[in-house]
Structures are given as C-alpha cells and as structure tokens.
Amino acid sequence: MTVATITTPQALRRRPSGRTSIIIVLVCLLLVGAVAVGVHWWRTPDVFNPVDQAVGEGRSQLVAQSTTFGMSYVKAGVDDSKSLSVISARPNVLVNTANAKITVGVCTPDLDRAGAIGIVGAIHRECTRLVPADGATMRLTQPTDQLVLTIAPTQPGIVLVKGLHVTYSHGWQRGSQDLGQFVRVHAR
C-alpha cells in the first residue's frame, strides 16, 4: 500500500533565512524610531527660552497698583516666516496672599520708548499693541512681540509666580513650554 502525500501551496513556501529576518526587524525598528522622532519634534516646539531659575524680578508696590513684567520673547534663530499662535498662557502661581488679579498678554513694544519690556507700571504706554495672550498671534519680525505678566494686588500680601506655561503652535509644531522668570511682588 502506497501512501500519497499531498503538498499544499503553504508547504511549498520557504521560511525567510535568518539574515532576511534580521533585515526585516532592523527596517521595522528604523521606521518606528523615525516616527518617534517625528512625533517628538511635532509635539515639542522650542521657540522661547526656558524658565530662568533666579528670583531676580521683585517689586514692592501699593495695593491697587498694577505692575507688568516682561516674561519672554521669541529667541534668536527661530523661523520668523511661520506664524506663532498662542493657544493658552497660564501663570505658574506659587503664592498669592495678595489676592492679586494676574493676567498674561502679548505686547508689541514701542521701539521709540523701549526695545523690550522689563518691569513697568503703565504697560499701555510701552506697547503699540497689547492683547490678551490666549488666542493671540505673535509677531516674529521686528519689533518682536513679547509675553508680559501683569499683577494687580487687591490686598496686602505676597505674590510669587514661576514663569508661564504656554501652549502654542508654530508652523507644523504644536506643544507646551514653561518659560519666563520668577516674579515676586510684595503688596503693602
């Protein structure tokens, strides 16, 4: 009695050699790595300088007076052909015993008065344009727009802010960044 062996197309297929399997795995790893780098680039724009860790900005002021601090402007070398849209800008408030109203804005400095905003009492005199930061489009050509933080205490106390947390888009990139500086206000 003879037993016939039936060969199916699956049995005729050859398994890839060890070298081919290694090449396939390496190509897959390279593709995954490229996608990871692309996603990281897309989600982490780097347009502003990071938070300055020094508590160099401090001010003693009277209750009901506001003070504005220049927080950051676009750092040198950023592609100014793309627009920068601020989605949201929030102060990182550590202490606010002065029950202060704290706002973030975008200022176009008046070049006849100042090239950049440091610490000012009357911000409207220093800017040719001042708008709330949320939803603003920042100008990247001269005069470069600057993010500013205004603090208006309503009672005696201390305000301590550790920069800003800004979510924005720049060209194809969209992400968040902590920027600015520590600001300390003593309201009396």
The residue that leads in pLDDT, 98 or 124, is 98
CA pair distance 183, 101, nearest whole angstrom = 14
23 and 93 assigned to the same domain: no
Residue 133 confidence (pLDDT) above 90: yes
Query: What's the predicted TM-score (pTM) here?
Result: 0.73
**Is the pLDDT score of 109 beyond 80?**
yes
Q: Is residue 90 part of a domain?
A: yes
The answer to whether residue 1 is domain-embedded is: no
Average pLDDT of the residues of the chain = 79
Domain count, the chain: 2
Q: Domain range for residue 32? A: 9-43
CA gap 37, 34 in Å, rounded? 5
* Residue 32 confidence (pLDDT) above 80: no
Say whether both 96 and 147 belong to one domain: yes
Give the pLDDT score at 164.
93
